Chain A
Amino acid sequence: MNRTYTASSRTQLLLMLTPYLLGAAVLVGLPALLSLLLAFLRYDGISAPVWVGGFNFQLVLANPVDLLFPISLYNTLYFVILAVPVRVLSALALALLLSRSGRGVGLYRAAVYLPTIIPDVAYALIWMWIFNPLYGPLNLILDGLGLPTPGWLADAQYAKVVFVVMAAFQIGEGFVVLLAGLQNIPPEYYAAAAVDGGNVWQQFRYITLPLLAPWLLLLTLRDIILSSQNIFTANFIMTNGDPYYSTLFLPLLIYEEAFDRMHFGPGSAMTVLLGLVTAALIGLILSIVGSWGETDAS
């Protein structure tokens, strides 16, 4: 604590932090530990919990009756691998385009941010309408242009893509973060590059990109963790996993397992496995980025 404060002031500071720290412990820390424990229990919320060792994991990973976990893990990875690069790169492109100041720029930025503030349920209904095979404006336009009109959400081949498109429009947070990052680059850097005769591409490659790299990495990692959970509401409202489980993403499966069927043990085991896969993905990306650093240094 700050030395210039008196003892009573230090107590005050501690009190000011208490709601935040206590809330974090009770609402996040404790449940996270509890999930780990629950993954090894059989518990339905009524009878007493029973320790079952690794049985829940066995049930989830190698269930002879259904393969819902592997299917939904595949769907989730498919979504993350497509959606995250699209989201980060479009946020970057838009931030680069709209980082200048001038007339109208504020409005353009607001327009880009707008889809991000639409409440989840309303957002899901809007895209169900847009992708509706018969009534939806998208197929009417495609039809008008003489292009094929797929069944979208009704067609297992296209249904996942709808979720990627939806996610690609809600990129306001990444856009704002990169915009702030761009504005914090001192203009002298570009002035110096211009004196040295660097063209636009060279300025981007040697000034903008290296200075934005930490932000891009942060956004990518955050998106890997959060983008798949953020589609839960849309998933629940729009398809509920149909057709043929092609849009059964992991958060929906966890919800069904734990909240509908009260299988808290297997539900928690799935949660733990989702955490492990996410951690592996992040480890992979960090090791790739780390190796770039090494080759740069050598």
Chain B
Amino acid sequence: MQVNSKRRIFHAIAFHAVSILISALFILPLVWMASASLRQPGLPPPRTMEWWPEPLAWSNYNRIFEMLPLGRYIFNSLLVAGIAVPITLVTASLAGFAMTQLNRRGRESLLGLSVVLLVVPTVAVWVARFILFRTLGLFNSYAALLAPALMGSSPLFVLLFFWSFRRIPRELYDAARMDGAGPLEIWWRVALPLSGATVIVVGILTFLLYWGDFTTPLFYLKSQTLYTLPVGLRQLQELDRTNWPLLLAGAMVMTLPSVLLFGIVQRFFLPENRLAGIYGQ
């Protein structure tokens, strides 16, 4: 017994030591970004690894807002994401709910379609979509950026809602139907209120998708007043390619909101124990 408990303690220590090392490795890029963003611009290369720059140059963060209208870009990014999130929540949850109510054949063909859509690379539709949007007069407007929200932004979000709605006991749907409720009413009064975690997860994932999107604004936006933050960061890079402290300060501004939102969502997103989170059977 004595030997056994010693072995268990040794195992626990080994597990935590390995896990802490791995976690540190995955956090390292963020730590280096933060420390580099506070380095005084124009210094010569350091001779050894420098974890904590001396002196801390908080002014880097002011400088980048003076060089470019980053405030405007942040507003634009928030605007695009702020419109995309509610539309996505409605379209994705409607489709996901309708899938739970179809018969087996209809449901399975829609599941198949969603999986196919999930693996179609966007590169495959870049060129043709560009020509299509230009013909429709969507060039240089947010309509081009927001178009995917009409189909739930990603088939994955439709599937997440489908799985979530399917876990709700059928009897609840049937009872509502007996009371004369149509599918729309059941979606709004039964399905959505019981799927709060999924709404939050999909909402935040959608926000992250539009907040970080670089390619769509790169292809479709020409006027600087419409630029979103990712394109603004690219502009910052073109202004001064080697001013690393400023570039990484920009990267920090871009990354911080994502990290904060991830902090909110991670307890739903990373199943802590069996049957918890949004993956439960």
Residues of A participating in the B interface, judged by any CB pair closer than 8 Å:
1-6, 8-9, 12-14, 16-17, 19-24, 26-28, 30-35, 38, 43, 45, 94, 97-98, 100-101, 104-115, 117-123, 125-127, 129-130, 132, 134-135, 137, 140-141, 144, 169, 176, 179-180, 183-184, 221-222, 225-226, 229, 232-233, 236-237, 250-251, 254-255, 258-259, 264, 267-268, 271, 274-275, 278
Q: B123 near A126 (CB under 8 angstroms)?
A: no
Q: Which of A12, A115, A121, A267 meets B254, CB within 8 Å?
A: A121
Interface of B is mostly: helix
Q: How far is the CB of B24 from chain A (nearest CB, A)?
A: 8
| Size of the chain B interface, CB-CB below 8 angstroms | 97
Q: A121 near B234 (CB under 8 angstroms)?
A: yes
Q: How far is the CB of B158 from chain A (nearest CB, A)?
A: 6
> Which segment of B63-71, B192-200, B259-267 sits at the interface?
B259-267
Q: Which residues of B contact A20 (CB under 8 A)?
A: 91-92, 94-95, 151-152, 158
> Roughly how many angstroms separate A183 CA and B271 CA in the complex, as a whole number?
9
CB within 8 Å for A28 and B117 given contacts A9-B183, A120-B212, A125-B233: yes
Q: Which of A3, A31, A134 meets B132, CB within 8 Å?
A: A31
Residues of B participating in the A interface, judged by any CB pair closer than 8 Å:
15-16, 18-20, 22-24, 26-27, 29-30, 32-33, 36, 45-50, 91-92, 94-95, 97-99, 101-103, 106, 110, 113, 117-132, 134, 147-148, 150-152, 155, 158, 174, 177, 182-184, 187, 208, 211-212, 214-215, 218-219, 230, 233-234, 237, 244, 247-248, 250-252, 254-255, 258-259, 262-263, 266-267, 269-274, 279, 281
Q: A113 near B127 (CB under 8 angstroms)?
A: no
Q: Which residues of A contact B129 (CB under 8 A)?
A: 27, 31
Q: Which residues of A contact B255 (CB under 8 A)?
A: 118-119, 122
Q: A251 near B123 (CB under 8 angstroms)?
A: yes
Q: How far is the CB of A184 from chain B (nearest CB, A)?
A: 6
Q: Which residues of B contact A236 (CB under 8 A)?
A: 218
Q: B183 near A125 (CB under 8 angstroms)?
A: no
Q: Which residues of B contact A109 (CB under 8 A)?
A: 266, 270
Q: How far is the CB of A83 from chain B (nearest CB, A)?
A: 15
Residue of A nearest to B87 (CB): A19
> Roughly how many angstroms separate A183 CA and B160 CA in the complex, as a whole number?
18
Q: B36 near A119 (CB under 8 angstroms)?
A: no
Q: Which of B15, B102, B119, B247 meets A226, CB within 8 Å?
A: B119
Q: Which residues of A contact B123 (CB under 8 A)?
A: 229, 232, 250-251, 254, 271, 274
Q: Which residues of B contact A27 (CB under 8 A)?
A: 125, 129, 147-148, 150-151
Q: A169 near B26 (CB under 8 angstroms)?
A: yes
Q: B33 near A129 (CB under 8 angstroms)?
A: yes
Q: What are 14 A-B pairs with beta-carbon distances under 8 A?
A: A1-B106, A4-B174, A16-B184, A17-B110, A22-B150, A23-B151, A27-B150, A112-B26, A114-B27, A117-B259, A118-B255, A122-B252, A222-B118, A264-B127
Q: Which residues of A contact B23 (CB under 8 A)?
A: 107-108, 111-112
Most buried by A among B22, B103, B110, B211: B22
Q: A275 near B281 (CB under 8 angstroms)?
A: no
Most buried by B among A31, A120, A258: A31
Q: A183 near B97 (CB under 8 angstroms)?
A: no
